[in-house]
Amino acid sequence: MSELGLFPLGIVLLPTEQIPLHIFEHRYQELIGECLADDREFGLVYADDEGLRELGTRAAVTEVLERFDDGRLNIVVEGGERFRLLELTSGRSFHTGVVEPVVDEPDPADPEDEDRALALFARLVELTGAEVEPPERDVPQLSFALAGRFEFAAELKQRLLVLRSERARVRMLAEVLEGAAAAVEREREIGERAAGNGKVEPRG
* Side-chain half-sphere CA neighbours of 202 within 13 A: 1
| pLDDT tens column, 82-131 | 999 999 999 999 999 999 999 999 999 999 999 999 999 999 999 888 88
Query: Phi/psi at 178 (nearest 5 deg)?
Result: -65, -45
Could you tell me which of 8, 143, 17, 149 has the C-alpha nearest to residue 78? 17
Question: CA-to-CA distance for 46 and 52, rounded, in angstroms?
Answer: 6
Q: Where in the chain is the domain with CATH 2.30.130.40?
A: 2-101
- CATH code: domain 2-101 is 2.30.130.40
Its pTM stands at 0.89
| pLDDT tens column, 152-197 | 999 999 999 999 999 999 999 999 999 998 988 888 877 766 665 5
Q: Are 157 and 14 in contact (CB under 8 A)?
A: yes
202: pLDDT strictly greater than 60: no
* Side-chain half-sphere CA neighbours of 141 within 13 A: 20
